[in-house]
Amino acid sequence: MFDLSLDELREYRPEVAAPADFVAFWCRSIEKARTHDLSATFTAVDNKLAVIDTYDVTFAGFGGAPIKGWLHVPAGATGPLPTVVQYFGYSGGRGFPHTSTLWAQAGYALFQMDNRGQGYDSGGPDATPDNSAYAGLNHSPGFMTAGITDPETYYYRRVFVDAVRALDAVRTSPLVDPDKIIVTGGSQGGGIAIAAAGLAGLTGIELLGCAPDVPFLCHFQRAVQITDQDPYAEITQYLRGFRDHVDTVYRTLSYFDGVNLGRLATAPALFSVALMDPNCPPSTVFAAYNAYGTEANAGVAKNIKIYSHNEHEGGQAYQQDAQLDWFADAFGRVGQIRPTASAEATTAPSQNSTVRR
């Protein structure tokens, strides 16, 4: 345990200043993305599973670029179902359609967004490239400093806008109840979930919940100061060489910090933190947790699960068990009702879809 004591963590509320144009920047970024036709398509695929149906999803993300995803539902579901939107960790992606279907097994629709330019730890078909003109700007190896000298060009601007567009896309499926959506993810996926929850309110989307596990992308400056673990160490590597970019880099990062984005959130939250986590230090997680929802007029219900002797793996099955209960409560347990198979399920998402039998 290398960070603050638990009592100190519970009270840790650092000053992470948001830029004066913070909200305007994000409203403009999302509005610009929405000028592109969403072009969301859902095509049934053979996932080789008997109890889950899967649809290959493509939608237009930042800059109109095609972003891939999976939509999993209980076999034969006709919808609309309560829906979990899942974002993936650093270097991960949607992978194969059979690899991660827990929330669909619980009776919900599960939408998983691919990470542009990542996915090399997951493999699988049709990875999403980062084909932005900004992708080739000078940076240290990895994604943390790609385009980091300007918030307009920073890599996570594209990812966070993709995350909001994923919410736009999934809400167009007849299998999804657009009024019953929870966002979740671990590590980078947790940071993206916080961003999605914060930005949802700026874009007219109401979420039922946000469940970030051991989230990354929070309180960047604190993380760089106290850990030499990747991916935060990529920032150190960059500034070790570009010594004159320090102020510029931290100004850019302030637009993308989970502390600042989480303040905007209005959806209830279930966080998790691991007190021995060297990748996402607990003080950075608590900084985001303590700030989460603080700009909501009526306050936001939130809780955090603490794993005292774990590193970045966090709670794993223990946290999933807590989420199963929390999601069911948020959805009113309607997602636990097993749907009845019907012929309409074969064509609900797309008229030219085909379904495995």
Alpha-helical segments (H) within the chain:
6-10, 22-33, 102-105, 155-170, 188-200, 220-226, 233-241, 246-254, 258-263, 282-291, 317-330
Strand 52-60, strand 81-87: pairing: unpaired
Q: Alpha-carbon distance 287 to 222, whole Å?
A: 10
Q: Alpha-carbon distance 198 to 195, whole Å?
A: 5
Instruction: Please measure the distance between the N-terminal and C-terminal CA atoms of the chain and give it in whole angstroms.
Output: 51
The one-letter code for the residue type at 146 is A
Which candidate in 3, 56, 213, 277 is catalytic? 277
DSSP string, 176-244: EEEEEEEEEEETHHHHHHHHHHHHHTTTT---SEEEEES--SSSHHHHHHH---TTTHHHHHHHHH-GG
Whole-Å CA distances, 355 to 47, 56, 126: 10, 11, 19
Q: Which phi and psi (to 5°) does residue 212 adopt?
A: -85, 125
Please indicate whether residue 272 is annotated as part of the active site: no
From the list 31, 29, 335, the residue with the least C-alpha distance to 181 is 335
Please indicate whether residue 309 is annotated as part of the active site: no
The SS3 call for residue 122 is coil
Which candidate in 36, 98, 245, 312 is catalytic? 312
Please indicate whether residue 139 is annotated as part of the active site: no
3-state class percentages of the chain: helix first, strand second, coil last, to nearest 5: 35, 20, 50
Rg from Cα positions in the chain: 19
Which candidate in 122, 132, 187, 254 is catalytic? 187
The SS3 call for residue 75 is coil
- The torsion region of residue 108 among left (phi > 0), alpha (psi -120 to 50) and beta comes to beta
The secondary structure of residue 55, as a DSSP letter, is E
Active-site positions read 187, 277, 312
